[in-house]
Amino acid sequence: MEHDDGVDEHDTPAEVDATFRTLRRVAITHVVLFLAAVMGVPALSLTLGWWSGGRLAGGMSPGFAMAAFGLYAFFLVIGLAAATLSSAVEARMLGGRHDDDNDDYPADGELP
Amino acid sequence: MTVTSAGTLVALIALVALVTLVVRPRGVSTVDFYLAGQRVGVATNALAICGDYFSAASFLGVAAAVYVSGLDGVWYAVGFAAGFVPVLLFVAAPLRRFGEFSIPDFLGRRLASERVRLVAVGVVQIVILSYLVPQAVGSGITWQLLVGRGLPGLSAYATGVVLSTAVVAGMVAFGGMRGTTWTQAIQFLLLLGALVWLAVVVAGSGFNYSAAVGDLSAEPLANPVHDDTGWHLQPESNHLDPTAPATFGQPGAAYGPLAQFALILTLVLGTAGLPHVMNRYFTSPTGTAARMTTVWVLGLAGLFYALAVMLGTAARQQIAAAVDDHPWLEELTVDGILRVPEHALPVLGRIYGGDSGLAVVAAGALVAVMSTIAGLLLAAAASWGHDVYERHINPRATQSQAVWAGRASTAVVALAAGGLAIAMQPADLTPAVPSIVAAMVTWAFAIAGSALTPVFVLAIWWRGTTAAGATAGMLVGGLVSVSMFVVGALPVGPGLGQMLVTPTLVAAPLAALVTWLVSRATTPPDDVERQWLVLHGTAADRHAERLARLTIASLGTTPRRSGHGTQRKGERDADR
């Protein structure tokens, strides 16, 4: 099912499997970073005195500053990075032209 | 309640009702009633998800938890905000691409099993009810503070519960997902507006955030308790170092070492299993749009929770300093500290904006409650109406009958939640937890994260997931989490008790393990490879985008409509 815009509305199982594996790597890499940050901030509060006892300008500790606004900026950055990379992977690995349309699987242009 | 307060509330309800009326679904299609025609743009859907997600627990509860426990209360904000990162990484795009109406519908179709669907309906209803009751409690508390009077025969608290639940149930039954989407988007903007206004006036008054944290941390943290001698302040125990006093800026005022991680993980994993939030992803036009919607939600959530934490801190400092100038605070406080921590933001609003300020914040709280109740009732309607009525009770139901079944189920679920909220006495429970509203919502997150999220993620990312495995995983996750709650309510010691009431740390890995073990011993659905194409391929996305382009192009080539076509394209581009 080819169209004049060069995009095929038909994915092959091999393409989807390769994309799935790449996206899984992207997701696992990002979730490891995410967990390191979200668990690391309370862990530092429990283990390092200066992290929760030290004072930045004005009196707020580094740990409180991270929990109060630093982590939310990190969530946005990591989410934006993961979404951009995942969409780029899909755009690059799926939707190319196919010479052979006789695949075992029907085109799934329709939502179930 | 003053005329200004009453006018603000009436104007708010009227605005929301008007939007519901204007954008209500005209047809009787279930896709329109439950999924808003699957044409909700990125920005609109992100705002609506925020309306769904930012409940009384977020608006009143997070500030209250920070007010009572300092840094240990901030973990609520961190957990609530962090929950959308796993959603983005593992759930949003594949879930939308697979389609369907609800979490049970997704699991039932993915695993080709009606048993999985029905077990998921049971779990989803428990999560919905656990989430609905604290919303109703929050509306009762807000009404109590704002109005102080009840309808004949009802207390002020019960009146708030009854009115908010009844009004929202009516709007949902009438407006369906399309009406609810727009009202939730507007409600979130009103809610965020109230929070931003309060932050601006507090900051404008000379409030120094960093210095306030430093000052509050310089002395032991103490909160009001009521015993035989009456109300008095009692220093909080330090759960990390019993020999040192608990302070505002350091951990330990509410949770021990393991409980801190258990709370955050419970909230992080719970978000992906919340039915009212996940159902919103089915309304996106494509999987890519669902993913980008989540990025917007992360940005909005960060802003919202950063402000809530700041205002909780401001309330702790400013209310104590304002008692001398505001005599009305005496009956709400003990030595400058609020008896009910959920009053922190409304009281701060009244200090800085008088009765109008109180009305703005109280309206924000009611809006938060109403928009979340709306999402929960819609999720309940989709679950009962589509997964039970259409599938099992009346498989030959017409679209109209199915929609009416959904409407009827909203009324039944609303009645149940309202009844439970009235039966509870939040004042009796408040001393046991930092914020009763936030704590009750945490129970819903715990069940969702223990019973649904592990199965959900495995069904999306592991071909070998089977119906038997999913059923066993949901049952184990649900039963273990509920059992841990029950044991945690017994006098088992403060550290262990706190861990037990946030059970996801134990229950979710156990549910995943059971799902994996049972799936290994059973056979996946025959058409799993075809399902994989739908879940992880983008053919349907490209098809939808191509249709949209063709529609815009055809409108552009029609001279009489060319202006509309250009405008629609511009709107769509902006929305994406």
Q: What is the pLDDT of residues A4-40, one digit of tens each?
A: 455 556 888 898 999 999 999 999 999 999 999 999 9
Number of C-beta neighbours around residue B38 at 10 A: 18
Three-state secondary structure string covering B207-261: CCHHHHHHHHHCCCCEEEEEECCEEEEEECCCCCCCCCCCCCCCCCCCCCHHHHH
Interface test with B, best of A1, A45, A47 (most B CBs within 10 A): A45
Please give the average per-residue pLDDT across B503-510, as a whole number: 90
Measured distance CA(B363)–CA(B361) in Å, rounded? 5
Structural tokens at position A97: 């032209």
Please give the average per-residue pLDDT across B441-460, as a whole number: 91
Please give the average per-residue pLDDT across B548-561, as a whole number: 65
Measured distance CA(A42)–CA(B257) in Å, rounded? 9
Structural tokens at position A46: 């429990």
8 Å CB contact of B294 and A79: yes
CA dihedral (B370, B372, B378, B384) in degrees, to 10, reads -110
Strands B222-227 and B230-235: antiparallel
Which chain B residues are closer than 8 Å to A86 by Cβ?
A: 93, 291
CA distances from B561 to B19, B544, B551 (A): 26, 22, 12
Place of tokens 């990075």: A81
Instruction: Output phi, psi for A104, to 5 deg.
Output: -70, -20
8 Å CB contact of A111 and B540: yes
Average pLDDT, chain B: 81
Measured distance CA(B312)–CA(B233) in Å, rounded? 19
Is residue B77 pLDDT above 90, yes or no?
yes
Give the number of A-B residue pairs with CB atoms closer than 8 Å: 189
Query: Which pLDDT value is given to residue B20?
Result: 61
Which chain A residues are closer than 8 Å to B82 by Cβ?
A: 34, 38, 71, 75
ipTM of the complex: 0.83
pLDDT tens, residue by residue, B366-416: 777 777 787 788 888 878 877 788 888 887 878 778 778 878 888 888 888
Please give the average per-residue pLDDT across B331-357, as a whole number: 87
Is residue B348 pLDDT above 60, yes or no?
yes
8 Å CB contact of A82 and B539: no
Residues in B 104-143 with any Cβ partner in A closer than 8 A: 109
Please give the average per-residue pLDDT across A60-86, as a whole number: 93
Is residue A2 pLDDT above 80, yes or no?
no
Which chain B residues are closer than 8 Å to A60 by Cβ?
A: 209-210, 213-214, 249
> Among the listed ranges A84-88, B218-222, B350-354, B387-391, which one has the minimum average pLDDT value?
B387-391
8 Å CB contact of B249 and A71: no
Which chain A residues are closer than 8 Å to B542 by Cβ?
A: 7-9, 95, 109
- Find, among B130, B103, B49, the residue nearest to B372 by Cα: B49
More confident call, B290 vs B386: B290
Please give the average per-residue pLDDT across B308-322, as a whole number: 92
8 Å CB contact of B210 and A60: yes
pLDDT tens, residue by residue, B135-167: 888 778 777 777 777 788 888 888 888 888 888
Helix (H, G, I), strand (E, B) or coil at B333: strand
More confident call, B423 vs B14: B423
Please give the average per-residue pLDDT across B296-319, as a whole number: 94
Please give the average per-residue pLDDT across B62-66, as a whole number: 91
Residue A66, chain B, CB below 8 Å: the answer is no
Please give the average per-residue pLDDT across B436-464, as a whole number: 88
Shortest distance between the Cα of B84 and any Cα of chain A, in A, equals 9
DSSP string, B49-112: HHHHHS-HIIIIIHHHHHHHHTHHHHHHHHHHHHTHHHIIIIIHHHHHHH--SSHHHHHHHHTT
Measured distance CA(B319)–CA(B268) in Å, rounded? 32
Query: Which pLDDT value is given to residue B141?
Result: 78
- Find, among B37, B42, B32, B30, the residue nearest to B92 by Cα: B42
Instruction: Encode burial over B235-246: b for 16+ CB neighbours within 10 A, e otherwise.
Output: ebebbbeeeebb
Nearest-by-CA chain B residue for A84: B292
Measured distance CA(B338)–CA(B224) in Å, rounded? 7
Provide CB contacts within 8 A for B525, sequence distance 6+: B110, B111, B112, B466, B467, B531
